[in-house]
Amino acid sequence: MEKFIRHTGSALPLRRSNVDTDQIIPAVYLKRVTRSGFEDGLFSAWRSDSEFVLNKPEYSKASILVAGVDFGTGSSREHAVWALQNYGFKAVISSRFADIFRGNSLKGGLLTVILPQEQVEALWLAIESDPTTQVTVDLESRTVTYNDVTCSFELDDYTRWRLLEGLDDIGLTLRHEDVVTSFEEKRAEFKPKTLPALA
């Protein structure tokens, strides 16, 4: 996984709450068996409206998405994270994320930043009045800065460290394989196994 230390870019205001993963990427786009190429499905239903903010030329270079509350609800599809990343987003800012989406994003290196709703509103105003406003998301200092504003955000030390170092979770867990093995030796006998198949 790529390291995430800090990112600076312009930001796109998505003034909608409860953006579910069926909106981020509808099911018909989920049939691919690769991790790339999902950008064409990103917000596809909304993109057919020329007024939709993603279609506005002034936001075409945006790499930070600033969304309403409860972003990423619904399905567990990690394709939602890939679609955002494939499109070019490095970070998403909202006042609340759905649990599974947030877990997926932090595993995949898309930084999800939680800011209080007032700070999200202020950021919306700034990037709407000047779409070229440069916004910096700094994981090292856990801050979002733009113009002369600095907002701090929280992220647990462990996840922050993993992202800063670009470490893969599976590799980290496999360092403790022996503990997993000894746990397995003590598992109850009556717990079901899928093999062999019983009828």
Partner 1 sequence: MGKTLAEKIWEDHVVRRADGEPDLLYIDLHLIHEVTSPQAFDGLRLTNRKIRRPDLTIATEDHNTPTQNIDQPIADPVSKLQVDTLRKNCAEFGVRIHSLGDIEQGIVHVVGPQLGLTQPGMTIVCGDSHTSTHGAFGALAFGIGTSEVEHVMATQTLPLARPKTMAINVEGKLKSGVTSKDIILAIIAKIGTGGGQGYVLEYRGSAIRELSMEGRMTICNMSIEAGARAGLIAPDKTTFNYIKGKPHAPKGADWDAAIAYWSTLVTDSDAKFDAEINLDASELAPFVTWGTNPGQGLPLNSNVPNPAEIADAEARGAAERALIYMDLTAGTPLKSIKIDTVFLGSCTNGRIEDLRAAAEVIKNKKIASSLRMLVVPGSARVRLQAESEGLDKVFIDAGAEWRNAGCSMCLGMNPDQLKPGERSASTSNRNFEGRQGKGGRTHLVSPLVAAATALRGTLSSPADL
Hey, CA dihedral for 92, 95, 101, 105, is it positive or negative? positive
Chain positions contacting partner 1, by CB under 8 A: 16-18, 20, 22-23, 26-28, 30-35, 45, 68-70, 73-79, 81, 96, 98-100, 103-104, 107-108, 156-158, 169-170, 172-174, 176-177, 179-180, 183-184, 187-195, 197-199
Q: CB of residue 136 vs partner 1: minimum separation in angstroms?
A: 26
Q: Which is nearer to partner 1, 39 or 70 (CB)?
A: 70
Q: CB of residue 88 vs partner 1: minimum separation in angstroms?
A: 20
The total number of residues shown for the chain amounts to: 199
Q: CB of residue 145 vs partner 1: minimum separation in angstroms?
A: 26
Q: CB of residue 92 vs partner 1: minimum separation in angstroms?
A: 15
Q: Which is nearer to partner 1, 148 or 157 (CB)?
A: 157
* Alpha helical stretches, state H, the chain: 21-24, 44-47, 79-87, 99-108, 117-129, 157-165, 169-174, 177-185
Q: CB of residue 156 vs partner 1: minimum separation in angstroms?
A: 7
Euclidean distance between CA atoms 178 and 20, whole angstroms = 39
Tokens encoding 70? 């409860």
Is residue 67 within 8 Å of 19, Cβ to Cβ?
Answer: yes
Q: Which is nearer to partner 1, 10 or 73 (CB)?
A: 73
> Exposed/middle/buried for 179, CB within 10 Å: 0-12, 13-18, 19+?
exposed
Q: Which is nearer to partner 1, 32 or 61 (CB)?
A: 32
Q: Which is nearer to partner 1, 19 or 146 (CB)?
A: 19
